Chain A
Amino acid sequence: MAATKSTKGKAAAAKNSKAGAKDAKAKSAKKAALQGVHGHHSRKTRFSVSFHRPKTLRLPRDPKYPRTSIPHAPRMDQFRTIVSPLNTESAMKKIEEHNTLVFLVDIKSNKRQIKDAVKKLWDVQAAKVNTLIRPDGKKKAYVRLTADHDALDVANKIGFI
């Protein structure tokens, strides 16, 4: 008796639960339609007194078109940095005694560019470069060559001896 009762009870319970599930679904649908579905957010608890800017997503650049159509070729190339060599008496002295060449150089160039330019143009390695700006507005560069180059030979090769 008890067994049958319990099975009956189980069946009934199963039926009930099925009905109950459908019922619950219907009830929640009704609630959502009437009240809207956003009602469950609680207020965030704050643990610090000060408010800090929340970190948001930062996307990298992905342009739909380049702003300048042709990117410019490098403007300070070796031809622009070095204007001409100097062959004044004091410059000649530098060539003979200190193994340095003296150049007039673009005023916007820096020592690294001068070193590079001398290397590219005449295959000469510079040990160091000193620069100054003359009173007439041009930049003068003293380019000391490494010991394995002879300034006099290079000057002859360049052609201004």
Chain B
Amino acid sequence: MPGKVKAYELQSKSKNDLGKQLTELKNELLTLRVQKIAGGSASKLTKINTVRKSIARVLTVTNQKARQNLREYYKTKKYLPLDLRPKKTRAIRRRLTSHEKSLKTLKQRKKDIHFPQRKYAVKA
């Protein structure tokens, strides 16, 4: 029975280790729930909360690692899975990208080169 599960310890574990720890914790939760109805001591009952949060921590770390690995895998690819793309808001996702906004026609570029906005100063 591990004393307290800490996130930074979990980060160094492998995927299989994390999976095993998860099933251990879930089994522990089950036994605690059984003891609850069989009249367990107060310490056992408070342990239920810590075990639930530990399970959450293990799952968080598992998912974090998996998603990070996937992001590295997709770095070279053209299309990302939808949940790895930036979420922001629906409207923001549909806006023109900053590159698309900056595009100008050849005609406009020539005008800008040949007829830029001039600044004048009056000599005092």
Contact = CB atoms under 8 A, between A and B. Distances in A.
Contacts of B70: 69-70
Contact of B81 (A69, A83, A84): A69
B33 A65 contact: no
Query: For A64, A66, A121, A161, which residue has the most chain B Cβ atoms within 10 angstroms?
Result: A66
A159 B66 contact: no
A35 interface: no
Interface in A45-87: 64-70, 79, 82-87
Interface of A: 64-70, 79, 82-87, 121, 158-161
A64 B79 contact: yes
Interface string B52-82: 0000000000010011001000100111111
Nearest to B32: A84
Interface string B77-100: 111111110000000000000000
A121 B30 contact: yes
A89 to B, nearest CB: 13
Main secondary structure of the interface of B (DSSP, over half): helix
Contact of A85 (B34, B66, B79): B34
B36 interface: yes
Contacts of A79: 26-27, 29-30
A85 B74 CA distance: 46
15 contacts: A65-B81, A68-B81, A68-B83, A69-B67, A69-B83, A70-B63, A70-B67, A70-B70, A79-B26, A79-B30, A83-B33, A84-B36, A87-B37, A87-B38, A161-B38
